[in-house]
Amino acid sequence: MSKVWLVTGASRGLGLQITRAALDAGETVVATARSTDTLRDAFGGEHDRLHALELDITDAEAANAVAAEIIERFGAIDVLINNAGYAELGFFETFTDEAVRCQFEVNVFGTMNVARAVAPHMRERRAGLIVTISSVSGLVSNGGGAVYSASKFAVEGWMEGFAQELAPFGVRSLLVEPGMLRTDFMDGKSARFGSIDIPDYAEAIAQYRAFVDGANGNQPNDPKLLAARIVVLASQDDVPSRFIFGDDARQWAGAKVDQLRHDIARSTDRG
């Protein structure tokens, strides 16, 4: 029997690929983006199992309205793909306070808005799956990614706890932590860079920008493959709490675990 999926940020990137993969698996998908025009451009219009709705995830009332409309129209939301987001890339001191707050407004509070709109319905039904698209940058932070990582670290901490709160009601949760995906995530459609000029960082920032420009379009991981894996995982009763995708992500996450073990071993109460 077809399940009803709600996918945010579905007009491009991973969200678009997840939408396509779910449709290919026979699911009914409500795809959302800030503009339905972009969704129509991406999918060429609706068909019987694809439905486009406008949603700015930073608008809590809009998130509630979309959830209510889906439930009224289809009777349920079985799977939420909390995917919409973007990246502030650059050195922390080059970002204005407004830019940092905008990063959190979308990646953290916007993601919370959608989960808050859907969770009561899933609790009432004693069923459902919330898939939160995080990043390996939610586990590991590096120079140039401090602000973006901070937002994803926040998502990880929130969802790790929220998942435990939902579990007794039959609501499952999956945190997805990809490495570098071949999407437009690192170009101007998604990524933003700091606007404050700080000479001390000039050389390092130039090197970082060169890395980003070189990586854009050449990322090692296929978003179509990740989308297919997410659809398979969503069909399983036993969903892992986390799914780390990509050799790069597993390497970085493993190194972080090793570093934590090293730091724990050094953190004794004895002098």
**Catalytic residue list:** 134, 148, 152
- Of 181, 199, 223, 210, nearest to 89 (Cα)? 210
The pair of three-digit structure tokens given for residue 117, joined into one six-digit string: 């709109």
CA 58 and chain centroid, separation? 14
The pair of three-digit structure tokens given for residue 216, joined into one six-digit string: 């854009």
Residue 251: exposed, middle, or buried by beta-carbon count in 10 A (0-12, 13-18, 19+)?
Answer: middle
Alpha helices in the chain (DSSP H): 13-24, 36-43, 60-74, 97-104, 111-125, 146-166, 202-215, 223-234, 247-266
